[in-house]
Amino acid sequence: MNNKKIILITGWTGYIGSHWVIAFEKAWYKTVIVDNLSNSSLETLNWIEKILGYKPDFFEVDLRDKEKLEEIFENYSFDWVIHFAWLKAVWESCEKPLQYFDNNIIWSLKLFELMEKFGVKNIVFSSSATVYAPENSSPLVETMTTWNTSNPYWRTKFLIENILEDLANFSGFRVVNLRYFNPIWAHKSWEIWENPEWIPNNLLPFIMKVATGKLKELKVFGNDYDTIDWTWVRDYIDVVDLIDGHLKAYEKISPLSAFQASFPPREKENEWIFETYNLWVGKWISVLKMIKETEKIILKKIDYKIVERRAWDLAEVYCNPEKAFKELWWKAGISLKESLENSFKFYNK
């Protein structure tokens, strides 16, 4: 146990964070996880225990409670951090912008302060393709302009990216900044998946709740976009592929990894890094196309209703993942068909 790398994960009980814990524990890392449970449940810890056979170290801590968080830093010699403690509902951020700035910005700053104090300067940040300026044309690449975001949630992602870049430049942080947008499916154990109790914000859980009779119909927000079938277009990535990308990102940061041979040599092992990668499949699909592909899997019709556009939706958002393929040796390998089949099995479970 003592020779394991120790990783601090914040916001671990969410859809992505819980997969992260499992993947890294199985890859022989020790995870220490913190969450205030404001938007999640301890039930996730029970799911993780079923999969791993034990419970990872967990602390119910609010990141604003700097004193309690500092105690955790004092008790563990963290090698690096993954930060998932994030409010992420776009509509809610428009209604409660100050709450989102407090949670996503202030909480993050408290965490970064302790990372600097204890010399824990390695971090993989869970960012989003929403930081790309709306005037950029898809497929999006990492060198394109970021700014001009259309809602408070997206702006908090943009601001934290810039804060971390400054911490890399001026405080020696080593940051891998991962941009993704639409993870789908779930853990292969069938114990953890994206299954919100409320009306879903994301497309696939909404479709699956209609497919399994839990909701009457799907809302399609707008059919007047300048796209192939007039509905908006996105790229979807299986969460298993996404977590594999995070593992590869760790290899990018780790100064002791043999994987470092694939990167340009640095003058010092502790030299700062700020690198951004798109973790996407690189294939777009429209809302109506996703409905049709799901219908092929479930062999029945998905009822949907066209409603008004949402103010924050863009016509096309999909990325070019070539940089991650070249530098991280990462590429999404799970097909949309397989993801849809597994999702339907979960919702029928």
Position 192 pLDDT exceeds 80: no
| Interval 261-272: pLDDT, tens | 344 444 455 578
CA distance 166 to 104: 17
CA distance 31 to 17: 11
- Looking at 278, 308, 333, the residue that finishes a domain is 278
Q: 40-76 burial string, b = 16+ CB within 10 Å, else e? A: beeebbebbeebeeeebebeebbbeeeeebeebbeeb
List, by residue number, the catalytic residues: 153
In a domain, 228, yes or no: yes
Element (H, E) at 45: helix 43-52
31 in the same domain as 61? yes
338 in the same domain as 220? yes
CB atoms within 10 A of CB 245: 23
303 in the same domain as 266? no
Total number of domains constituting the chain: 2
Q: What are phi and psi of 30, to 5 degrees?
A: -100, 125
Q: Which of 11-20, 201-210, 217-226 has the lowest mean pLDDT?
A: 11-20
In a domain, 188, yes or no: no
Both structure tokens of 38: 């404001």
Is the previous residue joined to 205 through a cis bond, with omega within 30 degrees of 0? Answer: no
In a domain, 114, yes or no: yes
Element (H, E) at 127: strand 122-128
Confidence of residue 155 (pLDDT cuts 50, 70, 90): very high
Both structure tokens of 257: 């990894």
CATH number at residue 94: 3.40.50.720
Position 194 pLDDT exceeds 70: no
260 in the same domain as 220? no
Global pTM? 0.87
In a domain, 223, yes or no: yes
CA distance 91 to 183: 19
255 in the same domain as 343? no
86 in the same domain as 41? yes
129 in the same domain as 54? yes
Range of the domain at 37: 6-182+237-278
129 in the same domain as 163? yes
121 in the same domain as 21? yes
